[in-house]
Structure 1
C-alpha cells in the first residue's frame, strides 16, 4: 500500500516538474541574429562573357551619408569576404580605430584556375603534367582578362554605386596571392596596396618569380604597399619548396632596394595553408594602416594642432584628403570635457570638428553641451542655434536651446 502511494506520488511530481520545464522552454524567444554583411550583386561581364557574383559591404554613417571610404577587393570571396568584413568593422570601431572603415568587395569564382593564374600550364603542384580533356588547368592563364574585368567593369560599377575614396587594396590567398603579386608587377597602378597570403610561386615552373626577377629592377620606383606571408605549407609536402620560394621573393625585394615600396613579409610556422589567411589578413590590414593611429600624447597636451598635423601626414601618405574622424574625436572630446583639467582641450577638439564638418548638427550640438559645462552660455546658445539650423526637426536641440534662453 505504501509502495503504491509513493509510486503514484513520484509520478505526479515528475509530471508537474516536466510541465514547468516545458512551459519555461516554450516561453523562450528565439530570433535569428541579424548581421550586416552587405549585398550580393550579379553583373554581366562582356570581357569574361559570363555573369559574375560580387559581394559588397559598405559602412554606414547615420550622421554623414556622404562619407567616402577606401575599398578593398578580396579574391576567393566565398572563403574570405565575411572574414574581411568583420575585420574591417572591428578594427574601425570608435573604441579601436586602428584603420578607417572600408568598403569590402568580394569577387567569387566561376573558373578559379582560369582567372587566378598568370600563365597557361598543365603542370600541377607535384610537377606532374596533365594534358587530358579533364585537366583542372586546361583553361589556366586568364589573369589578363580577369584584370581587364576588374579595371574596366567592376571598379567603375563600385565607384558609381558606392561612396569611394581613391585608395584601393587588392587581397588574395594562394592562387589569389599569385594574382595580386602579378598585378603589382604588371599593373601596379590598379591598386595602392596589396596583400598576398601564401602565394603559389610554384605555378608554371616558378613563372612569377622569374617575372619578378626580370621586371623589378634595382633602384626602380614603385610607390606601393605590399604585405605578403606564408604558413607551414611544407609540413604537408616534405621536400616542397613553397616556403623557400616565398623567401626568394622576399630576398629579391630587399636586394633590389625599390624606391617607394613599403613591404613586409611574415611567416606563420604554426599555420597551415588554409588557416594562415586568418592571421595574415589581420596583419596585412594593420601593416597597411600602421600609421593610422594618433601617436601617444597625454590628455593635457592633446590639441587640434597635433591632430591636424597627424592627419595631414596621413593625407600625404594615402593620396587623398583625410580629415580627423568626426565621431571618434567627438567621443574623445566629450571624455576630456568631463575632467576640469582637460575641459579646454576637449572644447578645442569640438571646435575643430565644427570647422572640419560645418554641415554637422552633431558637431555643433556637442560643442554647445561643452560650452554649457564651462559656463559659456552665449557660446552655447550660438552653437545650439547653428545645430538647430542644420537639423530643424530635432526636438532635443530645440529643448536644450529653449532651456538656455530662459
Structure 2
C-alpha cells in the first residue's frame, strides 16, 4: 500500500511538470503573479509579497479564502505549489482562492521558533497584524486562511496556530522541524509543548503534517511528527481536523512534491460536492439536489466558519436538472446562486429567463433575457434570445 501511494503521488507530480505549459494555457485558474510590498515596523524593512488572484476575481464580486505560502524566494518550490493549486482549483477539489507568497530574502531566521527568545516573534507579528490588515483592506478576503510551510516554515506555522488560531485557521506543515537532538542546548521543545496545550482546547482549526522516511533529516523529524500525532490522538479533540502522513520514499527535500497536494486536499476535503453524488442525482434521479446542496453549504459553514461557495457548475447543472424536471421554483433558486457567483455571465441569466417563462412570469423572463443579451460578448449570437423575447411578446 505504501508503494502504491508513493507511485500515485510521483505520477501526479510528473504529470504536473510535463504538462505545465499546456496547463497554464488550457486550465489556468490563477492569474499571473504580481508583486507588492509592505513597510513593516516589526521587521524594520519592506517585506515583499507575491500575489496570485483567481481568474474569476474581477467578475464575481465574491470574497475568497486566502492561501499563504512561505519561502516564496524558492522558485522551484513556488512553481510546484502554484501548479498544484491551479490544477486542484481547476478540478474543483479545492475552492478558488487568493494566493500569497512571502519571500525570505533576508534569510530564514524569521521562521525559527525553537531558538527564539520570545514567544511571539517579529515575523509572527508581521503576519498576524500587518499582512492580514493589508490583505483585508486591499482584497476581498474571507476569514479562512491556509498557511503552507516546509521545514522551519512548518515549525513556525504549527506554533503560530497555537498562539493565533483565529489567523492561522489551517496549517500545512511539510516535514516540519518539530524536534532536535538533545545535544542542542537551545532546543526547549517549545512547539510540541504549545501544540500539546492547544490540543486540549476546542478550536475549529485544521492541521496537516507529513514527513518522508528516506532521508537523513527525516529520521529525526519523523520522531517529532510521530510524537505530535500521538499527542493529537490522545487529546481526542473533535474540533481539531488533523491528519498525519508518512511519505514512503520521500526525503526532507522532496517531501513538498507529495505534501502540498495531499495537504490541500485534506484541508478542503469537506468543501466539494462529490462528483459521485452528482452522478447519482443527475443520471440515476436519486435524491433532492436542492436539499443536498443546502446541507452541504451548512456543513461548509460549520467546518470552516465561513460561507465558501460551491463551484458555479454545481448550481448550473442542478438548476438545469430541476428545469428539465419541471421543478421551476427550485431551478430559480439554483440560478439565483449561479448569478451571484457570475455577475457578468450571460448563461445563468438566460436560464433564469427560461425558468421564469415556464412559470408564466413573462415580464421577469424578458428582463433576464435582455440582461443576458447585454452581457454577450462581441460576435456572440443574440438571435436565440431575441426570438425568445419576441415569443413572449406575442403570447
Task: Give the distance between the partners of 1:270 and 1:347, measured in 2 at CA.
Answer: 54
Correspondence for 1:18: none
| Structure 1 ranges of 4+ moved more than 6 A | 140-143
Task: Give the distance between the partners of 1:377 and 1:188, measured in 2 at CA.
Answer: 49
- Which secondary structure does the structure 1 equivalent of 2:60 belong to? coil
Question: TM-score, normalized by length of structure 2?
Answer: 0.76
1:6-405 to structure 2, matched below 5 A, reads: 36-61=31-56, 64-79=59-74, 80-93=77-90, 96-120=91-115, 144-203=121-180, 207=187, 209-213=189-193, 216-217=196-197, 219-232=200-213, 235-236=215-216, 240-295=219-274, 296=277, 297-299=280-282, 300=285, 301-331=287-317, 333-334=319-320, 336=321, 343-344=324-325, 350-356=331-337, 360=343, 362-369=347-354, 376=358, 378-379=360-361, 382-389=364-371, 392=374, 394=376, 396=382, 399-405=386-392
Correspondence for 1:129: none
Deviation at 1:63, TM superposition (A): 8.2
- Which secondary structure does the structure 2 equivalent of 1:43 belong to? strand
Correspondence for 1:6: none
Deviates more, 1:289-298 or 1:175-184: 289-298
Deviation at 1:259, TM superposition (A): 4.7
Deviation at 1:298, TM superposition (A): 2.6
Tell me if the contact between 2:64 and 2:142 (Cα under 8 Å) persists in the aligned partners.
yes
Deviation at 1:268, TM superposition (A): 0.5
* Gap change, CA 1:82 and 1:348, over 3 Å in 2: farther
Task: Give the distance between the partners of 1:172 and 1:377, measured in 2 at CA.
Answer: 53
Task: Give the distance between the partners of 1:194 and 1:181, measured in 2 at CA.
Answer: 7
Deviation at 1:275, TM superposition (A): 1.4
Correspondence for 1:26: none
Aligned residues: CA RMSD:
3.2
Structure 2 gaps of 5+ residues are: 1-23
Task: Give the distance between the partners of 1:214 and 1:46, measured in 2 at CA.
Answer: 27
Deviation at 1:321, TM superposition (A): 2.6
- Kindly tell me the number of residue pairs found equivalent between the two proteins: 344
- Which secondary structure does the structure 2 equivalent of 1:216 belong to? helix
User: CA offsets per residue over residues 275-311 of structure 1, 9 Å max, x none?
Assistant: 1112111111111111122252432134211111111
Task: Give the distance between the partners of 2:226 and 2:104, measured in 1 at CA.
Answer: 29
Deviation at 1:363, TM superposition (A): 2.4
Deviation at 1:192, TM superposition (A): 0.9
Task: Give the distance between the partners of 1:308 and 1:226, measured in 2 at CA.
Answer: 26
